[in-house]
Structure 1
Amino acid sequence: MYLAKRVLCSASAAVSSTPAPRSPAIESGEAWPEGQHGVSTQRAAELWVEVSTVTVTAARSQHGKQVHCRTGDMSTESESLTLDIAFAPIDVKTSTESPIIAEHGNINLTCNSMSNPEPERYEWLITNGSRHFQLNSSRETITITDVQRDFSAACIAHNAIGAGQSTKTSVDVAFVSIMVPESSCSDTGRMLRCLCQVEANPVATVTWMFNGSSNISASVIPAVTTTGDLTSSEVVLEGRLAEHGPAVCVAKNSYRTVKQQMAVQDGKISLPLPVSFPWIILACAFGFFGLCGLICFCRYTTKRKSKSSDGATSPKINRQR
């Protein structure tokens, strides 16, 4: 093997006995770029020797190729030489063992590349849920634990010549999550209405359990809708909650099964305390001031009537001299 940045091919001949060799060429079974040609004359014993050369810049595409040198008139050629071309990592890619990983599981990441010499260290850029961090390793494979949704990774391979970086690779994370408080039951006194909303990848199958049993009356058909990763299932049952027992939503896909007992809300319409309480205080204040105003007005009216009555009945006194 021959480690080189340039490939030199030369041919020589004694000028006194044969014509100077024409410019030599490099051959390896494929086209080579145009090289730099040169001619020099050297003294060897009693003869002058003329040397013709061609120099070609090595490229990584020639790595591992066998080459030989021949004269321009094809009268002479050299032995073959295997090229060992040094270059920085190229075609860097991040790969995983499995196309899909379960949430909270472990994942093995491998940084693949082509280089000469082999990479001596690897740098990893990881996004795991809301966390962004960087890792350094001397091995091409690392393990990440507790994988979260929105996981992606990129790697940078380094050798003595330079570095190469992969594009960011996103990992398909499998999960099942029942959305709370969106999922609940409403008891109106005459019927029980239950809604379960599930976010999952792959899409989950949603079933119901009442009083510990998954056997529901054939007349009860859940209304199911699916949009992307979100699945909603709604059931309506006649009777009080006491008759049907606790309602449990069961969400299942090929990676996980999740159960959630539904919270029960009163079917009567009422404003929550944070909204209604300030308005109640304001209404009481207006009522109080209104009542005070009404009392004051009544007292004022009563006094006026009293004065008018006294003026009308007062006796008139005529003084005579």
Structure 2
Amino acid sequence: MQQLIWQDEPVTVTLIQEKEPGMEGGSVIVECAANCNPQPHKYTWLKRQKGLINKISSTERRKPFHNITRDTSLSCIAYNDIGTGKSDWLDLEVQYAPEILPESSCHLTGEVLKCVCQAEASPNASIHWTINGNNNLTSSFIFVSTNKKNVVSGEISAAAQNQSNISCTATNSLGSNTKQLSVLSKTSSLYMWLMALLLGLLFGCAMFIYREYSKNRPQRPQSISVNVQEEHSNTNIQRSQDEDTQSNPYTPESNPEVDEPSCIYNNELVEEIRRPTIAQRHKNNRTAPQREGEIQPLEKSGVDCNTDVYLNC
């Protein structure tokens, strides 16, 4: 008769902290137990600390972890020939000395003083108050203490009677921590909040009015702007011409007497002027050898319009 062999992947994977609780900064040993057949031959350990996850491959089911802190969490993945299985995250139990939280403070409301002191510690801390150097609270103070996971909160309230020096001390088996508490007036802080709210409302109204004004403001037509630019340009050109006229009075328009005759407009007049000029030139050519030192006549027989006018002048 054959015996049936049951095989299965790691279905249930559990982490067990062997040495508990551990000290912050110390070491712990954790076992990764898997319910499967065959047994796992490989493990992947996951260490989560300060938001970062570090993966460690190993063949050991028991592994030590060093330099642990209060926010250290572990998990493991077990592998066998059939499949894999993963455990839940295990928050390590770590012991540490008390630390007073920033939320601790005192508030004065009218004639009533109320102080709150919150401390985180493992094991949980006990809170003691010191008022004006006195460690023993009088019957006029009301003391309330609440405990959550690793956080203890102490609260006292009494009539305000020159109680300006107040401190709280949190203590457990690993140490203690003391903090001086400042007294805040709820009236003054409420006034500051109201002033900030009022300034915010004024600024918002100003921005809204400016946006509405910009949206509804009539815009200048583009055509008018172009016409204004053209008129401005023409004015500048006319102004420049007037300045040139004043700076140079001897322009052709101001001296019509020196205007030269136009060859195109006065063709007939030029022809009449040219005839006696040509005759005089021939006469001069015949008598040139008898006159020494005189300028020789032009060899060019054809004279253009401008030259004839010059000779006539």
TM-score w.r.t. the length of structure 1 is 0.47
Give the number of the structure whose residues are more often helix, by fraction.
Answer: 2
Give the number of the structure whose residues are more often strand, by fraction.
Answer: 1
Find the structure with the greater CA-based Rg.
2
TM-score w.r.t. the length of structure 2 is 0.48
